[in-house]
Amino acid sequence: MLEGMKNTLVATDYPNLYKSKESEIFYARIDRGRKTVKKSLKTRVLTEALSRLAGFLAEQGRDELPVESVSWYLAVDMYVQRQEMRPNLKPAAVESIKFFAGRAKKLVVRDMAAEAITEQICRVWWKKDALSVSARTANGTLAIVKNVFSMLQDAGCLKNNPAAKLERMTLRSGKLHVPGKEDFRRIIEEVKKAPILRKWQKKGLYSEAADMISFLAYSGLRIEEARRLVWGDIGKESISVPDIKHATSRRTLYINASLAEVIESLRRERRGNSPDDPVFAIENPRKALTNACIRLGLPHVRIHDLRHFFATSCIEAGIDIPTVAKWLGHRDGGALAMKVYGHLRDEHSKEAAKKLVF
């Protein structure tokens, strides 16, 4: 607001929410006896203002929500805003909440009143979501869904939590299912020769699915990291990876020979290769990967298993675990990678010992 400009706040239909008559920017305001606490919400959009108001109220020690009836998308945004106001919450935890909250919105196909969401809707969503991602991702999303409904219950917006009966997925045992290199080659060939629907023929989505599967397997990137890649991130020898776990940082991944071939294939197929253009035109090659495994009669391979394929291949090639962990984007010096892949390192060491001659 420019100095000297009037800023007349007008009350809205929502408690504690005001709007500037001059700029139309929303403000939050709480009267505490003789003291008034006021804060600009920096938006002219009502739904954004309401979600930010929820965070402001939480910051002021007020648990109530600014609305009695709320849509699901707005409820999720309000939950995120309230979490961001928690003291001592690490940036990584905030980014994790935002990631799972984004997935939680997909509980419904289109936004709808939160009180209209039934147990049946939740069951159908959970069955579909739990089968499409890793158990950890599914469980993280479910936790947000339940927490949002609990928040609405505490605020008196809901009587019951429709997701309360949904049970977390059981995390898989330490033994990983990773396709062998020959099976992986067969999967890629199967994806390439899959029947192409006429409406997709010009876009070449099946061909790009094969390239995206190969890219994930040869880079170890998370699917969300691959989605965010633009051509400006890819250099001659390395990739600047937009790390989804730590929003303000990136990591460097050096390009191996197999990954270089995939990148070259993508450059040939894609017409737009300017620095700001996304590397991939598709969101997820999951269906192509699943269908290829079914046709070949192979065990189901998840998108996240491609990351395990990369790590396993690195360790079998003799690369030390701290280096593999760094490439994967772990910040614990290799502790998690050692826990997940340590047995592979031990097997490799055992085979290497057999070759030792004095």
pLDDT band at 346 (very low <50, low <70, confident <90, very high): low
- Measured CA angle at 103 (ends 223, 187), to 5 deg: 35
Q: Coil, strand, or helix at residue 240?
A: strand
Per-residue pLDDT, 189: 92
Whether pLDDT at 148 is above 90: yes
- Residue type (1 letter), 213: I
pTM, 2 dp: 0.53
Longest dimension (CA), the chain: 87
Calculate the CA 197 to chain-centre distance.
29
pLDDT at 313 over 70: yes
Span of 116-130, 247-261, 277-291, 340-354 with lowest mean pLDDT: 340-354
Determine the pLDDT at residue 200: 44
For 190-227, write each residue's pLDDT tens digit: 998 875 544 444 454 447 889 999 999 999 999 989 99
Name the nearest CA neighbour of 99 among 211, 227, 241, 201.
227
What's the CA gap between 78 and 86, in Å, rounded? 13
Asked if 144 contacts 104 with a C-beta cutoff of 8 angstroms, the reply is: yes
